[in-house]
Structure 1
Amino acid sequence: MADKKHFNLSFIKNRREELSLTNQEMAEKLGYKNGSTYLKYENGTYLFKADTLPDLALALDCEIKDFFT
């Protein structure tokens, strides 16, 4: 039986900070209204939708698989 993968929000936050991207910049890259909306996704209040993951990976210069641990 395969191990279950979990979505790693801390990777997303750490990667964004490594790249010196603000919440507002991430919101613009993902088509969200403002930085506070993006922050709700990064904090886990809202869930990233599967169709957002390619854009998220592009914004963070990583692969989709990096979001899972």
Structure 2
Amino acid sequence: MNEVLDNHIAKLRSKRKLSQQELADAIGVSRKTISTVETGRFTPSVVIALKLAQFFAVPVEAIFALLPADE
């Protein structure tokens, strides 16, 4: 079975009124990295996922979830 990685980064950013650039600067990545992770075009490394969780003070599972792929 194939899964798709879903995320709630845009929602978390919106709650804090942060731009992609501000979030990127805060965790030490590029704005493009944030953009491509948000849109699902890039699967983040464990390090990036943990940095996001630490920044938002939530468990990684509150940001990312595996969903069944449409078949």
* Superposition map of 1:1-69 within 5 A: 7-9=5-7, 11-33=8-30, 35-66=31-62, 67-68=64-65
- 4+ residue runs over 2 A deviation: 5-8
Report the Cα distance in structure 2 between the residues aligned to 1:18 and 1:32, rounded to whole angstroms: 20
Per the normalisation by structure 2, the TM-score is: 0.69
Distance 1:14 1:46, change over 3 A: same
More helix by share: 1
| Number of corresponding residues | 64
Per the normalisation by structure 1, the TM-score is: 0.70
Unpaired segments ≥5 residues, structure 1 = none
Greater relative contact order, per chain length (Cα 8 Å cut-off, separation 6+): 2
Instruction: Give me the identity figure in percent.
Output: 21
Unpaired segments ≥5 residues, structure 2 = 67-71
